[in-house]
A = this chain, B = another copy of it.
């Protein structure tokens, strides 16, 4: 690893040397480090957001409080142009109370939670369970007439896990080196359509369960160890489900399934008190600026999604990124920087339902795509379809956004940045990263990564990047789970990430020339003429 590090630094020196004089001198970066390490407020920000406000499902009261509170903090700190921008989303939802217990053949408190955007129960209800694994509409016939008055367990139970890898880890030098591998893009123009077709299954299952008179349905947690998630995706006005849904911990689910098979048959008592909020169906992204001096309106932007799921407190996903972005804003504001380009801080809504907040910003300010033939109604359908429509048309603000930096990989320290196949940007990214090798951040990796809010910026040709962070236990046990709480965040890592983000923003804002852009995206014409669709994409 030492050998790797030395090589990486040598490479940076070699490539960085032909560049123009550094846009930000090391003394400024030392001030960022002093403010970020000696006067940090990042964990206080995180604690209020996660413990105090808690989960922030888009359009829920928690998310509304988070919108108000983050704007208030930005104003307290003196940032400018603090505001929010709305986009049509759907219903708000929150769970006030939930309990599930097996009452027969013996009493057990079940670890379970309501699936988001499903209705509550009419008080406390007791019903026998039935195991009815249903994964496609073809299975409905098998259970017709058998579900009335039942709690329907729709997941096929598995055999449990043998977790042979450590839950908590940091990247080795060798692993980081592998990320710097260019992969040629693959183009499968029908993949998105296949996924969209599959999306209506949840709606059809709900209609089937309602017609059959089911009391509720239950899914099994995809993780062992009593962890829960509770994710549901039917949040649009007029499309939320009619049958209460809940997720049961894998251990509890499997026990119910075994008892249902060999007897005595279990009876479960269920109480779910939830609330829908329909006064405002718009979701809101939150923004704050440190204004730049350049009259062209050019800006650079950092972003993280403020919304979360509901099982935990949205800590690693993505209170951590939110707190890093807010802390970078606080650091730069506290230093009184007067950047050339405006520095904008964005907190997105609706990320968990398909990057909907950043998508809305791109559509409103950056670029549009050809409208969909039949506009898809749900978030995930929009997500799957959005980057698949051509051509891309620049909005007037297209040229003003010089760079976008995203954080959404938990609380691990920054180890580098993914260049998103933008070879032209690599030298400047290396220069901006070069002060931070001694903090573990050495890697500019060419690879393209998906799944979070830089994606749609990148898809229209903006230099938009996601940082590489140490994984810690984010993927193994925190991601979307009931233990995604403040106490699993690592304060030293959080401070380092905020410092590096602040330095990147200042360097990008003051760079003599903006970051080079890749080629403007046009419809690909290379497909695999001999390929068949991935069976996992088929109905």
A166-B165, A167-B163, A488-B160 are contacts. A51–B97 as well, Cβ < 8 Å? no
Is A163 within 8 A of B166, CB to CB? yes
Convert A461-505 into 0s and 1s, putting 1 for each residue whose CB lies closer than 8 angstroms to a CB of B.
Answer: 000000000001100010000110111100000000000000000
A106: Cβ under 8 A from any B Cβ: yes
Cross-chain contact of A52 among B51, B224, B264 (Cβ < 8 A) = B264
Is B54 within 8 A of A108, CB to CB? yes
Is B160 within 8 A of A168, CB to CB? no
- Chain B residue at minimum C-beta to C-beta distance from A159: B487
A251: Cβ under 8 A from any B Cβ: yes
- Which residues of B are found within 8 Å of A477, using beta-carbon distances? 225
Is A101 within 8 A of B97, CB to CB? yes
How long is the Cα–Cα vector from A53 to B105 in the complex, in angstroms? 9
Convert A282-309 into 0s and 1s, putting 1 for each residue whose CB lies closer than 8 angstroms to a CB of B.
Answer: 0000000000000000000000000000
A255: Cβ under 8 A from any B Cβ: yes
- Among A97, A163, A224, A225, the most chain B Cβ lie within 10 Å of the Cβ of A225
- Among A163, A250, A477, the most chain B Cβ lie within 10 Å of the Cβ of A163
A254: Cβ under 8 A from any B Cβ: yes
- Which residues of B are found within 8 Å of A111, using beta-carbon distances? 111, 226, 482
A451: Cβ under 8 A from any B Cβ: no
How long is the Cα–Cα vector from A169 to B162 in the complex, in angstroms? 8
Cross-chain contact of A487 among B54, B168, B250, B473 (Cβ < 8 A) = B250
- Which residues of B are found within 8 Å of A47, using beta-carbon distances? 258, 262
Convert A431-456 into 0s and 1s, putting 1 for each residue whose CB lies closer than 8 angstroms to a CB of B.
Answer: 00000000000000000000000000
- Which residues of B are found within 8 Å of A113, using beta-carbon distances? 109
Q: For the complex formed, measure the closest distance between the CB of A473 and the CB atoms of chain B, giving whole angstroms.
A: 7
- Which residues of B are found within 8 Å of A53, using beta-carbon distances? 106
A521: Cβ under 8 A from any B Cβ: no
Q: For the complex formed, measure the closest distance between the CB of A109 and the CB atoms of chain B, giving whole angstroms.
A: 6
How long is the Cα–Cα vector from A159 to B168 in the complex, in angstroms? 15
- Which residues of B are found within 8 Å of A107, using beta-carbon distances? 95-97
Copies in the complex: 2
Cross-chain contact of A226 among B54, B62, B227 (Cβ < 8 A) = B227
A105-B52, A162-B472, A473-B163 are contacts. A487–B251 as well, Cβ < 8 Å? yes
A313: Cβ under 8 A from any B Cβ: yes
- Chain B residue at minimum C-beta to C-beta distance from A249: B483
A400: Cβ under 8 A from any B Cβ: no
A54-B106, A101-B97, A164-B168 are contacts. A251–B483 as well, Cβ < 8 Å? yes
Is B160 within 8 A of A226, CB to CB? no
A264-284 at interface with B (beta carbon < 8 Å):
264
Convert A158-200 into 0s and 1s, putting 1 for each residue whose CB lies closer than 8 angstroms to a CB of B.
Answer: 0111111111110000000000000000000000000000000
Cross-chain contact of A168 among B54, B106, B163 (Cβ < 8 A) = B163
Is B168 within 8 A of A485, CB to CB? no
- Chain B residue at minimum C-beta to C-beta distance from A167: B163
How long is the Cα–Cα vector from A166 to B476 in the complex, in angstroms? 11
- Among A106, A166, A482, the most chain B Cβ lie within 10 Å of the Cβ of A106
Is B163 within 8 A of A226, CB to CB? no
A211: Cβ under 8 A from any B Cβ: no
A99: Cβ under 8 A from any B Cβ: yes
A361: Cβ under 8 A from any B Cβ: no
How long is the Cα–Cα vector from A455 to B537 in the complex, in angstroms? 58
A259: Cβ under 8 A from any B Cβ: yes
How long is the Cα–Cα vector from A167 to B227 in the complex, in angstroms? 15
- Which residues of B are found within 8 Å of A208, using beta-carbon distances? none
A98: Cβ under 8 A from any B Cβ: yes
A142-162 at interface with B (beta carbon < 8 Å):
159-162
Q: For the complex formed, measure the closest distance between the CB of A126 and the CB atoms of chain B, giving whole angstroms.
A: 13
- Which residues of B are found within 8 Å of A482, using beta-carbon distances? 111, 226, 251
How long is the Cα–Cα vector from A305 to B99 in the complex, in angstroms? 33
- Chain B residue at minimum C-beta to C-beta distance from A263: B52
- Which residues of B are found within 8 Å of A227, using beta-carbon distances? 225-226
Is A485 within 8 A of B255, CB to CB? yes
How long is the Cα–Cα vector from A535 to B262 in the complex, in angstroms? 53
Is A483 within 8 A of B54, CB to CB? no
- Which residues of B are found within 8 Å of A259, using beta-carbon distances? 51-52
- Which residues of B are found within 8 Å of A255, using beta-carbon distances? 51, 313, 485-487
- Which residues of B are found within 8 Å of A473, using beta-carbon distances? 162-163
Cross-chain contact of A109 among B97, B108, B167, B485 (Cβ < 8 A) = B97
How long is the Cα–Cα vector from A162 to B486 in the complex, in angstroms? 14
How long is the Cα–Cα vector from A388 to B162 in the complex, in angstroms? 41
- Which residues of B are found within 8 Å of A250, using beta-carbon distances? 487
A-B contact pairs, 5 of them (CB 8 A): A54-B106, A98-B109, A109-B113, A162-B168, A226-B483
Q: Given A52-B264, A250-B487, 5 more contacts at CB 8 Å? A: A54-B106, A98-B109, A160-B488, A161-B168, A251-B312
